């Protein structure tokens, strides 16, 4: 079932197709635009070189589907789609013709690898991977080469995808991984935001303080230090409207937790029983851990643990075991929560997946607007004006923009939590917006929504509001009024 946002976008695209039925090239571009509305939400992972994009993508999917070693494949844009069996294909466009060739998926070594044969990254435009993962059924993930690469051509591949010279981004939303926050990051985020949001403002970007465990030098309390860093980054990026939120994540620990094996749990248990002095000495570094004669686990197994968890992950896992965690499932969940990936998953759900229709329709309309703005066919001006009105009037996207600026703009307002909730910052269902249990009767939802709309309208009229506060309260009132309409009896 298609919601009103996509239905309206498809109506405008259909009108454009009729308007350009005699223009073969433009009509094909319009057909591609229509096809985009029928595809899953596109989420790109971007950031600096060696920020851990592939590892984080694997952690979110819960399976190792993206090579993380520095090979030719990591220099290529890679698209991950749902499929019934694993497959990988390399694509290249030559003289207007798309050519494909198979890529070998190799899982025989310690880490997954893609083999291109005699080809190099410069020989192909992108790789398309099909994978039987539930998380890919409604979401398409895009792994991009690192920005600020020593090779300009490698970084340029990401720029062409997310910030093309003309037209909107090929992604609908972006997870941007940060190690530091510098002028290059801010400029790129601003450019990405302009392509995702168009002239109506940035949306669809979440920041991640990547490899967060390394900020605290692998100490067990490293995530606390990383959260402080994330708060500083958020203060700068959210106040400028450049992203919806910033969270710290240890992708390596998250992936190890999502794919924890019983044998690894048993090895970690044995190590946790070693006297504290010997164990702490062994965990001073990865090299000491692998070579220590005082640990009752084979060096090869310890090396594998270090590769999968890192020093931080092993230290934290042992801490959980000493605190009473008694099974592999319990340990996996504890590590997953500690890694920060649960927070990121929730943000992606609330800001991206639950807004999938709005984001996909917005991307399609931005693309249609670019097509129409380059033509002089009779009737184009009127249709272009309708597209512009649609882009400016989508309340769901207005909610995202308000949420993106809310944390710092209204941090001193006592009702900021309620404001975030009604705008969909805690979930987009009527019950989540109103803060009531799922299953609340429609007549109760309707009455609560009416009360909420009146309350936010009243707040919007307060004479001491600054312009943004007044606009945010009006948006909240519109959100509540929308809930009244949705809950109205048929």
Tell me if 60 is assigned to some domain. no
Tell me if 287 is assigned to some domain. yes
Q: Residue 376 pLDDT more than 60?
A: yes
Last residue of a domain, one of 292, 314, 339: 339
Q: Residue 239 pLDDT more than 60?
A: yes
Q: Residue 156 pLDDT more than 90?
A: no
Tell me if 464 is assigned to some domain. yes
| pLDDT per residue as tens digits for the range 202-227 | 568 899 998 888 887 777 788 888 88
In terms of pTM, does the model score above 0.75? yes
Tell me if 105 is assigned to some domain. no
- Quote the pLDDT of residue 197: 66
| pLDDT per residue as tens digits for the range 269-300 | 999 999 999 998 999 899 999 999 889 999 99
Structure-model confidence comparison of residues 329 and 233, the more confident one: 329
Tell me if 231 is assigned to some domain. no
**Residue 325, domain extent:** 254-339
Structure-model confidence comparison of residues 110 and 128, the more confident one: 128
Q: Which of 108-122, 145-159, 361-375, 469-483 has the lowest mean pLDDT?
A: 145-159
Average pLDDT over residues 95-123: 83
Q: What is the 3-state secondary structure (H, E, C) of the chain?
A: CCCHHHHHHHHHHHHHHHHCCCCHHHHHHHHHHHHHHCCCEEEEEEEECCCCHHHHHHHHHCCCCCCCCCCHHHHCEEEEEECCCCEEEEEEEECCEEEEEECEEECCCCCCEEECCCCCHHHCCEEEEEECCHHHCCEEEEECCCECCCCHHHHHHHHHHHCCCCCCCCCCEEEEEECCCCHHHHHHHHHHHHHHHHHHCCCCEEEEECCHHHCCCCCCCHHHHHHHHHHHHHHHHHHCCCCCEEEECCHHHHHHHHCCCHHHHHHHHHHHCCCHHHHHHHCCCHHHHHHCCCCCCCHHHHHHHHHHHHHHHHHHHHHHHHCCCCCHHHHHHHHHHHHCHHHHHHHHHHHCHHHHHHHHHHHHHHHHHHHHCCCCCCCHHHHHHHHHHHHHHCHHHHHHHHHHHHHHHCCCCCCHHHHHHHCCECECCHHHHHCCCCCCCHHHHHHHHHHHHHHHHHHHCCCCCCHHHHHHHHHHHHHHHHHHHHCCCC
Tell me if 275 is assigned to some domain. yes
Q: Quote the CA–CA distance of 85 and 417 in Å, as a whole number.
A: 44
Q: Which of 54-58, 87-91, 167-171 has the lowest mean pLDDT?
A: 167-171
| pLDDT per residue as tens digits for the range 246-265 | 899 999 999 999 999 999 99
Q: Residue 78 pLDDT more than 90?
A: yes
Structure-model confidence comparison of residues 140 and 152, the more confident one: 140
Q: Quote the CA–CA distance of 316 and 313 in Å, as a whole number.
A: 5
Domains held by the chain: number: 2
pLDDT band at residue 319 using 50, 70 and 90 as cut-offs: very high
Last residue of a domain, one of 339, 372, 400: 339
Mean pLDDT computed over every residue of the chain = 86
Q: Residue 482 pLDDT more than 70?
A: yes
Q: Which of 137-151, 350-364, 455-469 has the lowest mean pLDDT?
A: 137-151
| pLDDT per residue as tens digits for the range 400-447 | 778 766 654 444 555 788 888 998 888 888 999 999 998 899 899 999
Tell me if 477 is assigned to some domain. yes
Tell me if 298 is assigned to some domain. yes
| pLDDT per residue as tens digits for the range 364-374 | 998 999 888 88
Q: Which of 77-91, 392-406, 446-460 has the lowest mean pLDDT?
A: 392-406
Last residue of a domain, one of 339, 361, 394: 339
- Quote the pLDDT of residue 489: 60
């Amino acid at each position: 079932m298609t919601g009103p946002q996509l239905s309206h976008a498809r109506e405008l695209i259909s009108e454009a197709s009729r308007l350009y039925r005699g223009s073969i090239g433009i009509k094909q571009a319009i057909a591609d635009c229509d096809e985009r509305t029928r595809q899953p939400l596109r989420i790109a992972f971007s950031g600096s070189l060696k920020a851990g994009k592939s590892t984080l993508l694997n952690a979110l999917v819960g399976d190792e589907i993206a090579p993380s070693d520095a090979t030719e494949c990591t220099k290529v844009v890679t698209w991950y789609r749902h499929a019934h069996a694993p497959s990988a294909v390399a694509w290249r466009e030559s003289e207007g013709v798309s050519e494909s060739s198979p890529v070998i998926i190799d899982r025989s070594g310690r880490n997954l690898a893609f083999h291109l044969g005699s080809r190099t990254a410069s020989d192909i435009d992108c790789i398309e991977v099909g994978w039987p993962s539930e998380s890919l059924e409604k979401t398409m993930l895009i792994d991009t080469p690192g920005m600020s690469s020593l090779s300009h051509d490698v970084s340029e591949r990401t720029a062409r995808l997310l910030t093309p010279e003309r037209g909107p981004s090929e992604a609908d939303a972006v997870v941007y991984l940060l190690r530091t926050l510098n002028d290059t990051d801010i400029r790129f985020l601003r450019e990405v935001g302009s392509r995702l949001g168009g002239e109506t403002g940035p949306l669809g970007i979440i920041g991640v303080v990547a490899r967060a465990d390394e900020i605290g030098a692998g100490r067990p309390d490293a995530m606390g230090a990383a959260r402080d860093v994330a708060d500083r980054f958020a203060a700068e990026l959210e106040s400028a409207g450049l992203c919806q939120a910033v969270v710290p994540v240890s992708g390596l620990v998250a992936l190890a937790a999502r794919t924890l094996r019983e044998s690894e749990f048993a090895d970690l248990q044995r190590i946790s029983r070693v006297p504290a002095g010997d164990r702490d000495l062994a965990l001073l570094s990865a090299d000491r851990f692998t070579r220590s004669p005082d640990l009752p686990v084979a060096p090869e197994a310890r090396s594998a643990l270090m590769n999968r968890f890192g020093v931080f992950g092993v230290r934290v896992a042992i801490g959980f075991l000493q605190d009473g965690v008694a099974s592999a499932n319990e340990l996996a969940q504890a590590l997953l929560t500690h890694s920060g990936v649960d927070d990121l998953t929730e943000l992606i759900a609330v800001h991206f997946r639950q807004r999938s229709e709005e984001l996909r329709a917005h991307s399609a309309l931005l693309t249609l607007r670019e097509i129409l703005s380059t033509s002089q066919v009779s009737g184009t001006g009127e249709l272009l004006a309708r597209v512009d009105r649609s882009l400016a009037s989508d309340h769901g996207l207005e909610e995202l923009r308000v949420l993106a600026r809310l944390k710092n703009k209204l941090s001193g307002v006592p009702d900021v939590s309620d404001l975030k909730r009604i705008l969909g910052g805690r979930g987009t269902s009527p019950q989540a917006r109103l803060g009531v249990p799922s299953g609340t009767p429609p007549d109760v939802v309707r009455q609560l929504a009416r009360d909420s709309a009146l309350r936010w309208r009243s707040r919007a009229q307060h004479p001491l509001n600054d312009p943004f506060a007044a606009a945010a309260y009006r948006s909240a009132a519109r959100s509540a009024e929308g809930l009244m309409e949705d809950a109205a009896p048929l």
